[in-house]
A = this chain, B = another copy of it.
Amino acid sequence: MQKAAIERNNEAIAAQLAPVGRETVQDRVYSELRRALIGGLFEPSQVLTIRGLADALVTSTMPVREALGRLITEKALEALPNRSVRVPPITLDRLDDLLRARILIEGEAIALAAARMGPRQIATIETILGEWDEMRALKHKKDVDREVTLNQSFHFEIYRSCGSAVLIPMIESLWLQSGPCIRVAIYAFSEAGEVDTAQYHRRIVTALATQDAQAAREALVADISRPFTFLRHKLQSAAKDQT
């Protein structure tokens, strides 16, 4: 019987080919909206319509409405009583609430990751740091989108190492919720260009390289608190101006 030979052949084929996967339209819409949300491409309080998004994404309404529903359950979007959906507005309370949750959960994740990151993972995040420096070097063109992307890659490369399939989706949800807020902060930082984000990230890397969970947590808290406190002051002064 040539069963074994066939089996070997199939295995050889399988070794060559990568699984093609099957991404649905709904998945693509969902990813695209997530990207836009985390990147802060939508403004807080902005109203989104199903047909409008479907036109923009060149699909029918069906995938869009399901993607919107999913984002609403993640609190990345908000369902108004009118049944229209909007990006949640920023309030001081919400800002504090989000920051506290992020410190709690991302802090735990990085503490777990500190004990589990090998030289390979450390090298990966150092590569991301290098790309960041490279980008900053040619400073004429301040590409905020790229900053956001690199920042995201840096953090999630760490979180992925925490080994918790439960915490990571929660962190993603938190980023989704804070995305529309922190965009303005990152943009302002990029404008000012003074205190470099890279410096905060470097502190995180050194802490992780020495497997110092406590130091890593503190460095992370400092990093993610910055845009929030910045926004906080901005909102407070804006409120004072209005009165």
Residues of A within 8 A of B (CB): 22, 26, 65-66, 69-70, 72-75, 81, 83, 94, 97-98, 100-101, 104-105, 108, 164-167, 169-170, 173-174, 177
Contact = CB atoms under 8 A, between A and B. Distances in A.
Contacts of A164: 97, 100-101
A160 to B, nearest CB: 14
Contacts of A170: 101, 170, 173
A73 B75 contact: no
Contact of A69 (B70, B97, B165, B167): B70
Nearest to A101: B166
Contacts of A70: 69-70, 72-73
B105 A75 contact: no
A61 to B, nearest CB: 12
30 contacts: A22-B83, A26-B69, A65-B66, A66-B66, A66-B69, A69-B69, A69-B70, A73-B73, A73-B74, A75-B166, A75-B169, A94-B165, A94-B166, A97-B165, A97-B166, A97-B167, A98-B166, A100-B164, A100-B166, A101-B164, A101-B166, A101-B167, A101-B170, A104-B104, A104-B105, A104-B108, A105-B105, A166-B174, A166-B177, A170-B170
A83 B65 CA distance: 19
A29 B166 CA distance: 25
Contacts of A65: 66
Nearest to A104: B108
Given A97-B166, A97-B167, 4 more contacts: A26-B69, A70-B72, A94-B165, A166-B174
